[in-house]
Structure 1
């Protein structure tokens, strides 16, 4: 087996002394691209992400990685009788570029026992319209900062497997508040269908087995990452999750933050990382990087 080959492309809103050193040291020489990608780049990006993505989502403690249990009032009584706690919501995300913004509509479905219906029942839906002003994009991956519908400054990441490397194409997303309060929400998703803005809902059986429930599994991310990308140094304060997913969120008193999302996909031997660092209390000085490796 040949050595792992890695490409890490760094983007910067402007040069500054405070940066993600590891990402910079692994960068390939290339012209830096500012946040706020041009229309020509957005057209290609839209073709990569304009789909219905199905999977599961869960919320995790930002420090311990413990999964949040679903509220009892949405869980079928059978699970309580069996003594089973649920941590994953079945989910569907409608994603597209809309003008100068990323449109993402996230639906969570009412949990069921087995396959009780052909289509899922939506429990709730959340719509984000994220301006590209604070966004960086790279081959279906993105990183952004925006204010959500509740008025919270939010940091989001998305890392997506390369075309043709997994069937279906898969991605992992993360959201957390920029002030570090609350949980880190994680989605693991597979490309399911053409964009319908949620007009066609996923089956209540959970859709593709590649993105089955994940939050209850073994927290194996660091082990998987070492196998598929041995030369990559995951920060010591990162949090390992199941299914090869890891994250790191560090927020300082001055409002600066370091935020990372990683996804090691063992079957395709890929390791994907999105990192975003802010120097102060606003987004005027931000470093963003993407890392993608694949072992031959």
Structure 2
């Protein structure tokens, strides 16, 4: 059975609306394509980095045959409060079912991490981390790391960030928060400072193993306490108190971590370890 899936399905389901933006591997925000930017913004030379987004999500709560469906919907930028009649630019649907053949790990608090093939090219994989804000079941972030896989070498190419809030039960994206969106565009705001996350941390972790003997849908459990020192490796410092951290171990493993500093000295993180042959462990 899928322990904790019932709790997970309740917390993850609903209409999650907000803003999304792409960043380079150096943490620089990437402009939206010029073709989607309203004329008024172009005339005033206003740079637009953020999409307004929706993520209708529905998880079925049966522990025997769990399923999850969600859509990432990007809306065309609008001037002023035209957002109530927003036009969809793109929709990407993801599905997780009992026969799922890609790694998917979930926590009963509504967080999850998933590995997806890229929609762009064969050599890319996408690592999606969804982090629920501790103590606030209506606030979450999703970070999607686009990773290039070349001869078992793994390299971070870009990061997509979604800052989302819960606007009610699942309606398949029918009603948009529009001007009622509680968040605002964030991509050009101040990034996190390295000093806020480096050095020694004490962590409580939940893990899920992925190898030939394990199912592809795993519950994040088995809590352990350990100490962690963030000093070496590659950091990508992002707005909204977010970061990515990539490290390579002596045994050839590559670790991709994302984190959210939810308070001074308090963070929630998600980390995936890949073997030297680029297999998720």
Above 0.5 in TM-score? yes
2:175 aligned residue:
200
- Structure 1 unaligned spans of 5+: 1-37, 287-296
Q: Does the alignment pair 1:147 with 2:117?
A: yes
3-state DSSP class of the match of 1:116?
Answer: helix
1:248 to 234, 238, 245: 245
Distance 2:273 2:115 in 1: 11
Which residue does 1:84 correspond to in 2?
Answer: 46
TM-score by length of 1: 0.70
Deviation sequence 1:80-134 (CA, Å, 0-9, x none): 1211111110111112325544322000111011102534221111111243862
SS in 2 for 1:183: strand
CA shift for structure 1 position 206: 6.2
What is residue 128 of structure 1 aligned with on the other side?
94
| Residue 187 of structure 1: aligned partner | 162
Secondary structure of the corresponding residue to residue 194 of structure 1: coil
Q: Which of 6, 13, 21 is 1:50 aligned to?
A: 13
Separation in 2 of the partners of 1:251 and 1:201? 42
1:225, distance to aligned residue in structure 2 (A): 4.8
Give, in whole Å, the separation in 1 of the partners of 2:79 and 2:90: 19
| 1:59 and 2:22 correspond | yes
Aligned partners of 2:238, 2:37: CA distance in 1, in Å? 23
How has the CA–CA distance of structure 1 residues 132 and 198 changed in structure 2, closer, same or farther, with 3 Å as cutoff?
A: farther
Q: How does 1:158-173 map to 2 (within 5 A)?
A: 158-162=130-134, 165-166=135-136, 169-173=138-142
Contact 1:102 1:132 in 2 (8 A): no
Deviates more, 1:126-135 or 1:237-246: 126-135
Query: Distance between the aligned counterparts of 1:224 and 1:78, measured in 2?
Result: 38
SS of aligned partner of 2:168: strand
Which residue number in structure 2 is paired with residue 177 of structure 1?
Answer: 146
Kept after mapping to 2: 8 A contact 1:100/1:132 = no
Number of aligned pairs?
237
Give the superposition deviation at 1:158.
Answer: 1.0
CA distance in 2, matches of 1:255, 1:80: 47
**1:277 alignment partner, one of 258, 273, 276:** 273
1:262 to 234, 259, 264: 259
Q: Counterparts of 1:101 and 1:264 in 2: how far apart (Å)?
A: 30
Structure 1 residue 282, shift from structure 2 partner: 4.9
Pick 1 or 2: higher relative contact order, CA cutoff 8 A, min separation 6: 1
Distance across 1 between alignment mates of 2:185 and 2:159: 17
- Which runs of 5 or more residues in structure 2 are unaligned? 149-154, 203-226
For 1:58 and 1:261, locate their aligned partners in 2 and report how far apart those are by CA, in whole Å.
16
The answer (yes or no) to whether the contact 1:56–1:213 under 8 Å persists in 2 is yes
Cα root mean square deviation, aligned: 3.0
Cα drift, residue 271 of structure 1? 1.5
